[in-house]
Amino acid sequence: MKTAVIYSDEWRRFDYGPEHPLRMERLGLTWRLMEGYGLTARPGVTVLSPAPADIEAVARFHGREYIEILRAVSAGDWVPHAARHGLGPGDNPIFPGLWDAAQLVAGGSLLAATLVAEGEADRAFHFAGGLHHAMRDRASGFCYVNDAVLAIMTLRQRGLRVAYVDIDAHHGDGVQLAFYDDPNVLTISTHERGDRLFPGTGFVEELGQEAGLGCSVNLPLQPFTDDAIYEPAFEAVVPPLLRAFRPDVLVLQLGIDSHRTDPLTHLSLSIQGFTRTVTRLLELGPRVVALGGGGYDLPNVARAWTAAWAAMNEITLSPELPPQSHADMKRLGLETMSLWDPPAELPADTRRWAEEYATRQVQAIREKIFPLHGL
């Protein structure tokens, strides 16, 4: 098996600002933990740095006017209508080099898709990618360009049938909308319910439209959903649909803001549950393009994506973190130098509440979507 991981030290140049929850430090932290485990220098592993995507590549999805606005504000020019495109104080700040960062994230995901499409890698991981909220003409949810959409478009240009599975705590709204009427792209998103969390979408009733009816699948979950609730719900929905759809390639968005200590969300997964889910997806996909996504508790991001990369290479890691990672992890507040999380229990009422909600959503998917796939 051939695998590729895509990383660049160039990310150190970019900064959303001191108060913003998305910190580029998480990428370097993840890379150093991968290195500490020896995961970047194994036989069959290729390490590549991405080239920035050019304007034409980004314009395959994003509007030309929007691209020019990104370029202008990145250079420090004042654009009076930037806010109409989601840019400004708050979620999507304007910072020096914004366009350069957008080009780099797009370039990395395009590279991952190309490697898999051309048979240079069976599995490729670009953990700086997965910015799934960006719309054609608008930044949203910390995302300026939708690299996941661009990666899927690259695969589709080669005639490949694509299933996109998004396990971020936030609904993958930008990707869903981009392929809402496409019968050759199945989008599946598991996430915290949209009436409790940004972006406010991702309900079972969002089924796709026209030729794509049934190709948009959403499994919303109650706050505090943990491994014991999430994994059976995932198993009841995702594997049957993937088997019925029979994709040539899986594109995975591996956000880890579903973790129980993430500061922005309210799900309760562990690193173990996340890793088991990734491993299950790898069993279901002939070829895989994996992207990162959300995750705002930095030690958890590094541990989860390192465990995911190990799973992509079918490697079992020691539960004890490498000694060279301890200083980083202690500085960022990790108390136990373990790859895995300690056990945690939900209160009985909270568990029942979350279980009942998940059961209802699974049943609704089986009633509304499964018949459209012959299930």
Active site residues: 133
Partnered with residue 47 across adjacent β-strands are 5
Q: How many C-beta atoms surround the C-beta of residue 253 within 10 A?
A: 26
**In 3D, which of 227, 225, 193, 212 has the Cα closest to residue 364?**
193
The SS3 call for residue 348 is: helix
Q: Which amino acid is at 225?
A: T
Structure tokens at 366: 């089986």
Distances (CA, A) of 187 to 108, 174, 313, 358: 21, 11, 25, 19
Asked if 185 and 208 touch (Cβ cutoff 8 Å), the reply is no
Q: Which helix (H) or strand (E) holds 152?
A: helix 147-157
Is there a cis peptide before residue 199, judged by omega within 30 degrees of 0? yes
Is the CB of residue 312 less than 8 Å from the CB of residue 129?
no
Q: Which residues contact 177 (CB under 8 A, 6 or more apart)?
A: 135
Ramachandran sector of residue 220 (left: φ over 0; alpha: ψ -120 to 50; beta: rest): beta
